[in-house]
Chain A
Amino acid sequence: MKKSIVLSAFLTLAVTFGALAQEVKTEEKKRELGHYNENKFRQMYDEMATPNMFRTASGAPGPAYYQQKADYKMNLELDDKNKKLYGSETITYYNNAKESLEYLWVQLDQNIERPDSKTPLVESQNMDKAISTSGFAKKYMGSPFPGGFNIEYVKDAKGNPMKYTINQTMMRIDLPKPLKNGEKVSFSIKWWYNIVNYQEQANNGRSGYEQFSDGNRLYVMAQFFPRMAVYNDVEGWQNMQFWGRGEFALAFGDYEVNITVPADHVMEGTGVLQNRNEVFTAEQVKRWELAEKTFDKPVVIVTQEEAVAKESSFSDKKKTWKFKAQNVRDFGFSTSRKFIIDAMAVDLPTNKPLAISIYPKEANPLWGDLSTKAVAHTLKTYSHFTFDYPYPKAVSVSAEDQGMEYPMICWNYGRPDEKGFVSDRIKYGMLGVIIHEVGHNFFPMIVNSDERQWSWMDEGLNTFLEYLTETSFDSNFPATRGPAKNIVPYMKGNQKYLEPIMSNSENIYQFGANAYGKPATGLNILRETIMGRELFDHAFKTYANRWKFKHPTPEDFFRTMEDASAVDLDWFWRGWFYSTDYTDIGVKTVKQYYVSTEASKETQAMFNRRGRKISDGEPMLYLVAEDAPDFKPELKKAMDVNSVQALSDYVNKNYTAEEKNALKSPKYFYEVEFEKPGGLIMPIIVELQFEDGTSEVQKFPAQIWRRNNDTAKRVFATEKKVVKIQLDPKLETADIDVENNYWPKAETVSKFDTLEKK
């Protein structure tokens, strides 16, 4: 303590004199201005919402947390010939907020298909300099698709018309008197719309029909009914328009849905089918019952022969399918004459859900072989990392060009080509999309984040678990979104085309990399490199369990991850999620030192300045750099403790024989300076490679940058000579420039050198 006080007093003097001397010459030199706290480790009080009674500082729902509930009773009828869907629904809405509501907002997502939809109008266009005749006719001569909701009425529980106003994809229903806390209101809406061919006509292709050349259609129906917007403590009404990319913010509720379709159709939908005996043959019902007890392989319930036999029947008769679903945030269904069904049960500790696939014959044999197995594996893996899948089933529907998720049901692309050939790309593409969309049951169907505002909260978390699921499904799975090195091309891109992850879905340039790849990679880095699997997995599981069947915000996620792990991650969130900074850490200098018992002139001078004599106190050892002015060549050798008299005397005097045996015998001494041209903070991972071919990895926590954001130094004392130092040898930190990761600055053998030699 004392020593440093003396030294710092001396330094202060020197600095003062220096400053005085300078002032004579440059009188006008301006004093440097002060600054706010710019430390990269400062806590995120400015960026994050203040914790409150709704959402606690620990990231959990607070004592005043509430959420609204919306129950639906719907009767639907599909007109297959004319491609129309008719519906009447009764919504019962419960206000659990303390405040009263004067009006309700209902989402009319189908209106994105209206001829006057604004979605096509907010896109920049380029002139097509070459265009097919059919394309020209459609683009310049055709009329827009007559889509969108036709609202026939909005009535209150007594049947009186209610006042409503439609603004694009949102409808405000004015209440005759405010809906108070604890009250509920019921109202009915009758509507119909023209169903879009999602491959050819849609402004938003998440739902509609796929046309087959045999005259059949395969319907994937979603966003098909007026749905309650979310009202909560964060957004008030989340009534941001549906532009197409930012998906949905939806309240939980219970559904009773009756769907009338041609009698020869086969259907799957959200919830539990109530009238299986009415819609399936006795034989098929038996197969269902077998599937519910079969855990090792899918049981075919509607066979390919049965499906093909109906392809040309085009029945005029009707059948009504009745579904009930509890505590879901949405409802979707898929119906066609062409469907084959298979299913198997999944053994989870507290639930035995069914994994189900429905697909036309065109999807076989690929789908029959793999889809249901992928669904089952996804439920198991995701349950392991979050909570046991709580719903009774998860359905994967084969629909070309699709990849879209709803509670208990999702649409997925990937079929053999017309000659029956399945490339690995199609196979893994189909498996990847099934895993991803089934995985969405957890995020956002159950951990119900606001997709309209934050795509990354479901896409990023889901892509992270998708990566773990894919690699455990098949060790050869070409899973690309997860490993740190794969995000480098994105993160080193032109800043003009980059936005922070914390950006609204509609305002992102490279959406996939931003909302899927980068957050998934960030979580992977936390798990593998920063927190470790045990701490990460516990915290991630805590977040999932705290917020299942609730509405979390980004802060709830960030805070829980810290709260459950005692790892301060504000620096990570700020850098990885709130900025477009990138990682670049390098080796600046490496200096080797040798042990001497003689002080160099420089050291002597330092002692003199401090007014101390070298002979004072215990004997000293001196570490001398090779480039010191009075470096003696004979010093240049590995240190041997026994040959340094003062040190061996000390050891002999102070250690027992047993203790001596445990002592290390360092021989080489290096001072390594690291530089950080990148703005992101990361741990420094140092691999020391020794002359005998062995190596050792040392890791310095990110906090090594807390007082100096540009450079850091570490001393390494090793028993073997270091011949090479490499930073981040396993490419764990998304370092965008690895050229400065080496010492000595080896001529990095580029890809091109090896290619040229060939």
Chain B
Amino acid sequence: MKKNLLRFVLPIIMVVMLSSFAWHKFYVSVTQIDYVPNKKRIEITHRIFIDDLEKALEKKYKKKVYLTSKKELPEAEALIKDYLKENVKISINKKVQNLEFLAREVEGDVLIFYTKIAISKKINTFEIFNSLLTDVYSEQQNIVHVNINSNKNSFLFTNSDVQQKIVY
């Protein structure tokens, strides 16, 4: 699907062109981040369209991965973890955190990823880097909702805006 297209078309074209049927052609991922102090963890849920992620994996690793199909490559999960690690980074109190991958789940045409950060200390600063899929779609938008210390913030990450910092 639109293999040639993706690399060089003006950003707007894709947005306009497939607007007639498919909402997922809007290149949006949604990430929810919740700090749950009594469970000593930050819960992170990513919702990413399967075909978009597949495209990104195929571009980066130069092979077809048949994501979520019965022909899915055995190493697909490792590739996904690797891709997530590279494109989502979180620092808390100026320290880079380890995101532990828990599971993935299919919901319609969306893949949901559950990751967590084990943490129990007070969060003073929270920095997030998110460049998911911006390597394949220049118009990719990543919406991130952060709920920490009863403060709710939402951010929009784009190709040119991949980093945000919250000071509590």
Chain A residues proximal to chain B, CB less than 8 Å: 119-120, 123, 125-132, 134-139, 198-200, 202-206, 244-245, 247, 400-401, 403-405, 413, 417, 421, 423-425, 429, 433, 436-437, 478-481, 486, 489, 493-494, 496-497, 510-513, 516-517, 750-753, 755-756, 758
Contact A199 B4 (CB under 8 A): yes
The B49-88 residues at the A interface (CB cut-off 8 A) are 50-51, 64, 66, 68-71
Contact A401 B11 (CB under 8 A): no
Which residues of chain A have C-beta atoms less than 8 A from B139's C-beta? Answer: 126
Contact A752 B43 (CB under 8 A): yes
Which residues of chain B have C-beta atoms less than 8 A from A136's C-beta? Answer: 8
- Judge if B22 is at the interface, Cβ distance under 8 Å: yes
* Most chain A Cβ neighbours within 10 Å, of B1, B25, B30, B110: B1
Main secondary structure of the interface of B (DSSP, over half): mixed
Which residues of chain B have C-beta atoms less than 8 A from A206's C-beta? Answer: 17, 20
Contact B16 A245 (CB under 8 A): yes
Min Cβ gap B32→A in Å is: 8
Which residues of chain A have C-beta atoms less than 8 A from B167's C-beta? Answer: none
Can you list 28 contacts pairing A with B, beta carbon distance less than 8 Å?
A129-B159, A138-B9, A200-B4, A202-B17, A203-B16, A205-B13, A206-B20, A247-B20, A425-B50, A425-B51, A425-B69, A425-B109, A480-B109, A489-B30, A493-B30, A494-B145, A511-B19, A512-B23, A517-B23, A750-B39, A751-B45, A751-B114, A752-B41, A752-B43, A752-B114, A755-B102, A756-B116, A758-B103
The B20-46 residues at the A interface (CB cut-off 8 A) are 20-26, 28, 30, 36, 39, 41, 43, 45
Contact A128 B109 (CB under 8 A): no
Contact B69 A126 (CB under 8 A): no
- Judge if B142 is at the interface, Cβ distance under 8 Å: no
What residue in chain A is nearest B158 (Cβ atoms)? A126
Min Cβ gap B21→A in Å is: 3
In the assembled complex, the Cα of A429 lies from the Cα of B41 at a distance in Å of 37
Which residues of chain B have C-beta atoms less than 8 A from A199's C-beta? Answer: 2, 4-5
- B interface, size bucket: 35 or more
Which residues of chain A have C-beta atoms less than 8 A from B71's C-beta? Answer: 421, 423
* Most chain A Cβ neighbours within 10 Å, of B16, B45, B160: B16
In the assembled complex, the Cα of A677 lies from the Cα of B158 at a distance in Å of 32
- Judge if B154 is at the interface, Cβ distance under 8 Å: yes
Contact A511 B13 (CB under 8 A): no
In the complex, which of the residues B25, B109, B154 contacts A478, with contact meaning CB atoms closer than 8 Å? B109
Min Cβ gap A245→B in Å is: 5
Contact A429 B143 (CB under 8 A): no
The B153-168 residues at the A interface (CB cut-off 8 A) are 154, 156, 158-160
Which residues of chain A have C-beta atoms less than 8 A from B159's C-beta? Answer: 126-129
In the complex, which of the residues A129, A400, A478, A752 contacts B108, with contact meaning CB atoms closer than 8 Å? A478
The B88-141 residues at the A interface (CB cut-off 8 A) are 102-103, 107-110, 114, 116, 135, 138-139
Min Cβ gap B122→A in Å is: 21
In the assembled complex, the Cα of A494 lies from the Cα of B26 at a distance in Å of 17
Which residues of chain A have C-beta atoms less than 8 A from B24's C-beta? Answer: 512
What residue in chain A is nearest B50 (Cβ atoms)? A425
Contact A510 B16 (CB under 8 A): no
What residue in chain A is nearest B152 (Cβ atoms)? A494
What residue in chain B is nearest A247 (Cβ atoms)? B20
Contact A480 B107 (CB under 8 A): yes
Which residues of chain A have C-beta atoms less than 8 A from B7's C-beta? Answer: 132, 134-135
Contact B154 A756 (CB under 8 A): no
Contact A123 B8 (CB under 8 A): no
* Most chain A Cβ neighbours within 10 Å, of B18, B23, B43, B103: B23
In the assembled complex, the Cα of A512 lies from the Cα of B21 at a distance in Å of 8
In the assembled complex, the Cα of A119 lies from the Cα of B19 at a distance in Å of 14
Contact A510 B23 (CB under 8 A): yes
In the assembled complex, the Cα of A137 lies from the Cα of B68 at a distance in Å of 36
What residue in chain B is nearest A403 (Cβ atoms)? B21
Min Cβ gap A285→B in Å is: 34
In the assembled complex, the Cα of A751 lies from the Cα of B39 at a distance in Å of 13
Contact A516 B19 (CB under 8 A): no
Which residues of chain B have C-beta atoms less than 8 A from A497's C-beta? Answer: 143, 154, 156
